[in-house]
Structure formats: structure tokens, C-alpha cells
């Protein structure tokens, strides 16, 4: 890619332009920065670092947030099955 | 019961029923069940944001962190490293230093790996976390957790999601007698009487998820649990009568014909 690079975001490969910061990427993905945690190559970033941290080829980024929990998915499947059986 | 607040690590809680937010049909049902339950502590899990479908709503749009104490858990973590990593991520996501620490030992039972739990708790407490550990109904482990600085312990009633109720009331009673921090009975509650019993034994609070979310009518069960926990607490404070094998008449004999 000309002027581009490939990074991994939440386990998926993603092509993006060079010079992108973590903050840029979050905006591009339409993710509000409050209540998310970002881990860059296993290092947890402080919120104020989002705009300062540039991304480079091969970086692995994890973006996490809160979900209903903590139910292992098999319970959700069990409930569906129970409902079905009723 | 305004003078009967639960205090953990300097934080005051109104409700002695704490609820999980998993397994509901949708966020609307989650929100309604929590409102009806009267709980002011709700547990959440930390997971990857769905980046391909941004239409997915955020749980915290429904559960206002200003209104509820959000208690992130480390559900699904089977190693000390993972539990510590998820705790740090939860804190980075910006809710608080609180964590409901789970280090699971086995997929089939979801029983805690108590050795791993103590190890992870030590690391996190050193980093300033307020660690509320999900533990087994083992009094010795509970004591160790308190010794290393946990401000409360959360022994299970039965395996997570099993609905079996309190399987070892005697161990729980020993924990309640010997451990001088709040005890939150966590996991395994099936129905209202289980929650009432836990409170009657002297638990300071009960945490549940599946018993409400998995009920045929989760909103109605949330209400039942609210009253069960309240009734159990009142009965505990009132002090029950001793059990006796034979009858004792309630009406006087005097004045009988």
C-alpha cells in the first residue's frame, strides 16, 4: 500500500493510512473514547495518550468496553434453548 | 432501613441485592429488571468493542454509572495473567478501582481457582484496586483473602448459573462468623427463598444474575428478589427463634374451661 499500513484491530486486519494516531482510529471507527480501554501491543494506554500515540505497521490494537456480564455465551444459548422448549 | 447501609472500603450501598447484567434479552429488559430489583451495584464484563457493527448500543447508555456502582468483573478468566489484564483494562475504561475478581478453575463447574485468586488479588491490591473476590465457600481461603487486603469476600452459594441454592450453609455460616468484612453471597441462587436464606444466615448482600435474567419473567423475579433480600435481612436482624423438636403452645392454658 502506498502511504498505508496494515494493523490489527480487535483481532482483525485493517488497512489504514500512515501517521494515524489511536485517537484518529477511534474516530474513524466511530467509537466514543469515554468508557473504552485501549491496549496497544499489550500496553494499556492512558486516555490522554490516545491523540499522541501514532500507529505503525503491524501494531496490534485491542479496544474494549463494558458489556452485560458475566455470562459465558453458553448460558445465553441455554436460555434460548429453554425458551424454545417451552 | 436507612440506618442499615452496607459499607465496603468506605463506599456506602443502599441495596443489599447486587445484580449482574448478562443473559438478558436486550438492554431494555436489563434496565427494567435492575430498576425493579432496587439494586445499586451492577456487575459488567469487559469485552472487545464490536468494530464491524457500530450500530450495537452500549450497555452504559442504559445503566447510568452516575446512578449505579458499576462493578467490572473478570468473568471468563482462567489464569492470573488474564484476570490481572482484564482488571487493568476495566480500570482503564474509566469506571473505578473496583473489580469483582474471578479466576476460574474449570469450564464445567466455573469454580474459582482459589490459589490463582489469591495471587491475582495480591497483585491488584498492590496496584490500588479494590478487590472483591469471587471465591469458594471455603473459610480458610476467605480468611486469607481478607488478610491480604480484600475489603469484602464473595463466596458462592453453588456453581454460577446452576440455581442450586446454598449447597453448604455450614461453611457459609463459618465464613460469616470468622471473617470480619462484608460477605456477599455470589452465584448459585435459584429463587427468592435462596436469597432470603443467605441473608438470614447473615450475609451482608447477595449477588445474582441468572436467577433473574433466566427466569421466565425476569422483571417479576427481580421484584421477588428485592423483597427476599429485604425480608431475609430483617429476619436476620430480628433474630430467629431456636429450633425445638416439640411443640410450645402459643395460647395460654389459663382460663380454659
Closest by Cβ to B75, choosing from A35, A62, A70: A70
Residue of A nearest to B75 (CA): A70
Confidence class for position B250, pLDDT limits 50, 70, 90 = confident
Look at residue A2 in the predicted model and tell me its pLDDT: 60
C-alpha span between B9 and B11 (Å, rounded) = 6
Inter-chain contact B93–A65, Cβ cutoff 8 Å?
yes
Residue of B nearest to A39 (CA): B89
pTM: 0.87
Confidence class for position B58, pLDDT limits 50, 70, 90 = confident
Closest by Cβ to B60, choosing from A45, A46, A66: A66
The reply to whether ipTM tops 0.85 is: no
Q: Is the pLDDT of residue B228 over 50?
A: yes
Mean pLDDT of B7-30: 90
Inter-chain contact A10–B90, Cβ cutoff 8 Å?
no
Q: In this prediction, what percent of chain B has a pLDDT beyond 90?
A: 76
C-alpha span between B108 and B100 (Å, rounded) = 20
Query: With left for phi above 0 and alpha for psi between -120 and 50, is residue B255 left, alpha or beta?
Result: left
User: Which residues of chain A does B207 touch, with a Cβ-Cβ cutoff of 8 Å?
Assistant: none
Nearest CA-CA distance, residue B252 and chain A, Å: 52
Inter-chain contact A70–B94, Cβ cutoff 8 Å?
no
Inter-chain contact B93–A45, Cβ cutoff 8 Å?
no
User: Which residues of chain B does A34 touch, with a Cβ-Cβ cutoff of 8 Å?
Assistant: 94
Mean pLDDT of B111-131: 97
Confidence class for position B189, pLDDT limits 50, 70, 90 = very high
Size of interface A-B (CB pairs under 8 A): 128
Mean pLDDT of B127-150: 97
C-alpha span between A82 and A67 (Å, rounded) = 23
Look at residue A85 in the predicted model and tell me its pLDDT: 46
Give the active site residues of B. 100
A28-69, pLDDT tens digit by residue? 888 888 888 999 999 999 888 999 999 999 999 999 988 877
Bridge partner residues of A5 (DSSP): A16
Bridge partner residues of B7 (DSSP): B12
Mean pLDDT of B184-202: 95
Query: Which has the higher per-residue pLDDT, B95 or B222?
Result: B222
Amino acid at each position: 500500500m502506498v502511504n498505508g499500513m496494515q494493523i490489527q484491530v480487535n483481532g482483525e486486519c485493517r488497512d489504514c493510512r500512515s501517521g494515524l494516531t489511536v485517537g484518529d482510529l477511534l474516530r474513524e471507527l466511530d467509537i466514543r473514547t469515554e468508557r473504552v480501554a485501549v491496549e496497544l501491543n499489550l500496553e494499556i494506554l492512558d486516555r490522554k495518550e490516545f491523540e499522541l500515540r501514532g500507529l505503525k505497521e503491524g501494531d496490534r490494537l485491542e479496544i474494549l468496553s463494558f458489556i452485560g456480564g458475566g455470562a459465558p455465551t453458553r448460558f445465553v444459548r441455554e436460555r434460548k434453548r429453554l425458551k424454545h422448549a417451552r | 432501613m436507612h440506618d442499615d447501609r452496607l459499607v465496603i472500603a468506605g463506599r456506602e450501598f443502599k441495596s443489599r441485592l447486587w445484580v449482574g447484567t448478562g443473559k438478558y434479552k436486550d438492554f431494555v429488559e436489563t434496565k427494567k429488571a435492575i430498576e425493579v430489583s432496587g439494586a445499586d451495584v451492577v456487575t459488567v464484563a469487559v469485552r472487545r468493542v464490536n468494530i464491524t457493527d457500530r450500530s450495537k448500543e452500549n450497555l452504559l447508555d442504559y445503566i447510568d454509572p452516575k446512578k449505579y456502582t458499576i462493578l467490572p468483573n473478570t468473568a471468563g478468566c482462567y489464569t492470573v495473567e488474564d484476570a490481572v489484564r482484564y482488571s487493568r483494562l476495566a480500570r482503564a475504561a474509566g469506571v473505578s478501582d473496583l473489580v469483582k475478581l474471578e479466576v476460574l478453575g474449570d469450564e464445567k463447574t466455573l469454580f474459582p481457582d482459589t490459589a490463582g485468586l489469591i495471587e491475582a488479588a495480591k497483585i491488584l491490591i498492590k496496584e490500588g484496586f479494590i478487590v472483591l473476590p469471587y471465591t469458594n465457600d471455603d473459610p480458610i481461603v476467605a480468611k486469607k483473602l481478607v488478610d491480604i487486603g480484600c475489603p469484602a469476600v464473595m463466596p458462592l452459594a453453588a456453581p454460577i448459573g446452576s440455581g442450586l441454592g446454598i449447597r453448604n450453609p455450614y461453611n457459609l455460616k463459618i465464613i460469616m462468623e470468622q471473617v470480619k468484612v462484608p460477605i456477599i453471597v455470589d452465584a448459585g441462587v435459584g429463587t427468592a427463598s435462596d436469597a432470603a436464606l443467605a441473608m438470614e444466615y447473615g450475609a451482608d448482600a447477595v449477588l445474582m444474575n441468572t436467577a433473574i435474567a433466566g427466569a421466565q419473567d425476569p422483571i417479576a423475579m427481580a421484584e421477588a428478589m428485592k423483597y427476599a433480600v429485604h425480608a431475609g435481612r430483617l429476619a436476620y436482624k430480628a433474630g430467629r427463634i431456636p429450633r425445638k423438636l416439640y411443640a410450645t403452645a402459643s395460647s395460654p392454658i389459663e382460663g380454659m374451661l
